[in-house]
Structure 1
Amino acid sequence: MTQPEVRTDSVGTVVVAGAANLAIAVAKLIAGVLSGSAAMLSEAVHSVADTTTEVLLYLALRRGARPADARHPFGYGKESYVWAFLAALFTFVAGAGFAITHGVTTILVHEHSGDYLASYVVLAVSFALESISLARAVRQVRAESRRWRTTPRRFLRLTSDTAVKAVFFEDSAALIGLVLAAAGVALSQLTGDELWDGIASVLIGVLLLVVATVLAHSNISLLVGRAVPERLRDEIADEIAGLPAVRRIHTLLTMQLGPSDVLVAAKVDFDDEASGATIEAAADQAERRLTARHPHIRYVFLDPTRTDRPGDDPQPGGPGGTPAG
């Protein structure tokens, strides 16, 4: 049985995003200090939060790919979701908290110092760099969605690779945040009222809250033990039901153990005439078929179970007694 490997495509996406965010954070901070813009300072903290997030996502990919051992027989895949959840939490607390607080303060105080030119230059450069990072994430999302024969939108909703999902959402939010910051700075300059700058900062904070909440919810679901998507589950059921010695599937359970690890466990009713050797051969064939068709499937357990006894109805969560094809 193969061991999990670090997803080099996801690592590359995270590294590119982290490098871009670090450079952008420094530029925004300088512009924010020079201009005194609340929206620019909020965007600087936004980029710092994104940079920290990329570091945590890198840890998630590395630590989650460690091989199984005696204390963790199913590997460390779920640890990647812990680090990804911490990344979402950091964005929620640090990024959104600062942006909203600073924005409200600006609305109440209406203070501004410095010129606006630095803000416009940094916003333009930041938009270009964030676009490069987002373009890489989009390419990976499209490639992965084609591999799974689904749409990019559905892939983002169901994927267990929370690293690429986080980069995509954060870079998208970053571009929207830059547009909001530019609008706030421009309106403040045109009207002479810093109210718009403060409102832009608050909106950036709300945007970060939404992104952090979506990512945190996704990671919590995977930490608890989420099943594979329904279409993949149906394909697994068809593969098992298609084995010659199988009469029906009583219960089929699946769980994401990590971004690249899936566990499959099934209670299967075999032919009454099937010998022990036949059942062993069928179980081995099921594992070989499933892992060949779906490399993410790492563990396959079949439990021979009779389903024709009185009162022995299919259990909740099973396929309802899927008959063999």
Structure 2
Amino acid sequence: MALGANLVIAVAKLLGGLFAASPALLSEAAHSVADSLNEIFLLASLKRSKRAPDSKHPFGYGKERYFWSLLAAVGIFVMGGCFSVFQGIEALRSGSSETRTGYVAGLIVLAVALAAEGSSLVRALLQIRGQARQDGRGMREAIRAADDPALRTVLAEDSTACFGVVVAMAGMGLHMITGQVQWEAWASMIIGALLVFVAYQLAKQSRGQIIGEAADPALRQAIREFLEAQPEIDTVTTLLSMRLGTRSTLVAARVDLVPGLDSEEVEEVLVRLKKAVREKWPIADQLFLDVTEASPSDRARARRERRQLDRAVNGEPEQDGAERRPEG
């Protein structure tokens, strides 16, 4: 839906911008062209990320979404942000003006664009609300989490596009009233600056996910508490996690079992716990349990990690190294 809306809007803005010689409208056209290419990237990511694991990628291709989202952020920066700033600077240098017919045509195109972008934004918000209900989250919390990079990018693009259209309409309107192109030039540069900021935020999030981002703190806390509640486990010395995609998470835990279990009992316990975790949290599909003998320092670190995790779940920022791999 977002792709279809952006393609129609891009053509309309481009024709209107050329007809009206409007820098703000041409900036919006560049914005929509960038958005259209980004939607193609995101559609490719949806298909490629669903490929089955193979010998080269034993954990699957879920991170394809993060890679293509990073390319989308680069597209927003180059094709949207930089071109819009360039258009604004050129308008200030040339001091161009538009005919009244051009103003009217441009404003009509922007009004249609606002309606189309708004409908796409509403569709994205409805999708997020549906996911929030499934996960038992509030709307604001779901938007902040935004685990799906494709949906997150569409939401950022559409909300930015709606704001950009309003800024462009204001710039064209003030240009028409005052006859000063500076209003439209500054509108174009404001749109460009906004796109650069959005591209930076999207690229920052995608970078963290490609490198290897930990799972949601609430999920880590729930799995840790579940393991610690088992009668066969004495201590969970550490619990590591990494998102492998929107539906896949790697979880590796080192556990110290209670004394007195023979090898067969240990094997049965590990198999049962792995099955129980995967059934309770299907997203934790890659689970590894390592049996170890906890030292006093291991137990102290485990208590420290639990406190850090509790703070993260309560909304406090996690400290770097909270899930650092133990030495030895």
Aligned residue for 2:155, secondary structure, equals: helix
Tell me, in whole angstroms, the C-alpha distance in 1 between the residues paired with 2:296 and 2:186: 67
CA drift at 1:311: 4.9
Tell me, in whole angstroms, the C-alpha distance in 1 between the residues paired with 2:227 and 2:263: 17
Aligned residue for 1:297, secondary structure, equals: coil
Tell me, in whole angstroms, the C-alpha distance in 2 between the residues paired with 1:118 and 1:185: 11
Aligned residue for 1:76, secondary structure, equals: coil
Tell me, in whole angstroms, the C-alpha distance in 2 between the residues paired with 1:75 and 1:89: 25
Q: Find out whether 1:250 has 2:237 as its counterpart.
A: yes
Identity %: 38
User: Equivalent of 1:186, from 159, 173, 180?
Assistant: 173
User: Equivalent of 1:201, from 185, 188, 192?
Assistant: 188
Tell me, in whole angstroms, the C-alpha distance in 2 between the residues paired with 1:27 and 1:311: 65
Tell me, in whole angstroms, the C-alpha distance in 2 between the residues paired with 1:314 and 1:62: 45
User: Equivalent of 1:212, from 167, 179, 199?
Assistant: 199
Partner of 1:103: 88
Gaps of 5+ in 1: 1-15
Matches within 5 A, 1:253-272: 253-272=240-259
Partner of 2:15: 30
C-alpha deviations, 1:206-230, integer Å up to 9, x for none?
1101111111010001011111121
CA drift at 1:147: 2.2
Q: Find out whether 1:40 has 2:25 as its counterpart.
A: yes
Aligned residue for 1:154, secondary structure, equals: helix
CA drift at 1:315: 5.1
TM-score (norm 2): 0.89
CA drift at 1:157: 2.7
Quick one: which amino acid aligns to residue 137 of structure 1? A
Aligned residue for 1:258, secondary structure, equals: coil
Q: Find out whether 1:92 has 2:77 as its counterpart.
A: yes
C-alpha deviations, 1:98-133, integer Å up to 9, x for none?
000111110222102442111111111111111111
Partner of 2:208: 221
Partner of 1:167: 154
Q: Is the 8 A contact 1:56 1:87 kept in 2?
A: yes
C-alpha deviations, 1:128-160, integer Å up to 9, x for none?
111111111001111222222223333233333
CA drift at 1:318: 4.7
Quick one: which amino acid aligns to residue 30 of structure 2? V
C-alpha deviations, 1:29-77, integer Å up to 9, x for none?
1110111110000000000000011111111111112111011111111
Aligned residue for 2:154, secondary structure, equals: helix
User: Equivalent of 1:285, from 259, 264, 272?
Assistant: 272
Tell me, in whole angstroms, the C-alpha distance in 1 between the residues paired with 2:169 and 2:269: 63
User: Equivalent of 2:4, from 7, 19, 22?
Assistant: 19
Quick one: which amino acid aligns to residue 21 of structure 1? N
Name the Cα RMSD after superposition.
1.9
Q: Find out whether 1:158 has 2:145 as its counterpart.
A: yes
After superposing the two structures, state which structure 1 stretch, 227-236 or 152-161, moved more: 152-161
User: Equivalent of 1:112, from 57, 75, 97?
Assistant: 97
Aligned residue for 1:263, secondary structure, equals: strand
Aligned residue for 1:287, secondary structure, equals: helix
Aligned residue for 2:244, secondary structure, equals: strand
Tell me, in whole angstroms, the C-alpha distance in 2 between the residues paired with 1:133 and 1:267: 46
User: Equivalent of 2:163, from 159, 176, 179?
Assistant: 176
Q: Is the 8 A contact 2:148 2:246 kept in 1?
A: yes
Partner of 2:286: 299
Tell me, in whole angstroms, the C-alpha distance in 2 between the residues paired with 1:213 and 1:109: 30
Tell me, in whole angstroms, the C-alpha distance in 1 between the residues paired with 2:308 and 2:3: 48
TM-score (norm 1): 0.89
Aligned residue for 2:285, secondary structure, equals: strand
CA drift at 1:310: 5.4
Partner of 1:12: none
User: Equivalent of 1:63, from 30, 48, 61?
Assistant: 48
Aligned residue for 1:264, secondary structure, equals: strand
After superposing the two structures, state which structure 1 stretch, 74-83 or 19-28, moved more: 74-83
Q: Is the 8 A contact 2:96 2:181 kept in 1?
A: yes
Tell me, in whole angstroms, the C-alpha distance in 2 between the residues paired with 1:287 and 1:135: 40
Tell me, in whole angstroms, the C-alpha distance in 2 between the residues paired with 1:320 and 1:275: 32
Matches within 5 A, 1:69-148: 69-114=54-99, 115-148=102-135
Aligned residue for 1:300, secondary structure, equals: strand
Tell me, in whole angstroms, the C-alpha distance in 1 between the residues paired with 2:308 and 2:179: 70
Q: Is the 8 A contact 1:262 1:297 kept in 2?
A: yes
Closer/same/farther in 2, CA of residues 314 and 220 from structure 1, 3 Å limit: farther
After superposing the two structures, state which structure 1 stretch, 56-65 or 30-39, moved more: 56-65
Q: Is the 8 A contact 1:251 1:319 kept in 2?
A: no
C-alpha deviations, 1:71-91, integer Å up to 9, x for none?
111111112211110110111
CA drift at 1:268: 0.4
Aligned residue for 1:116, secondary structure, equals: helix
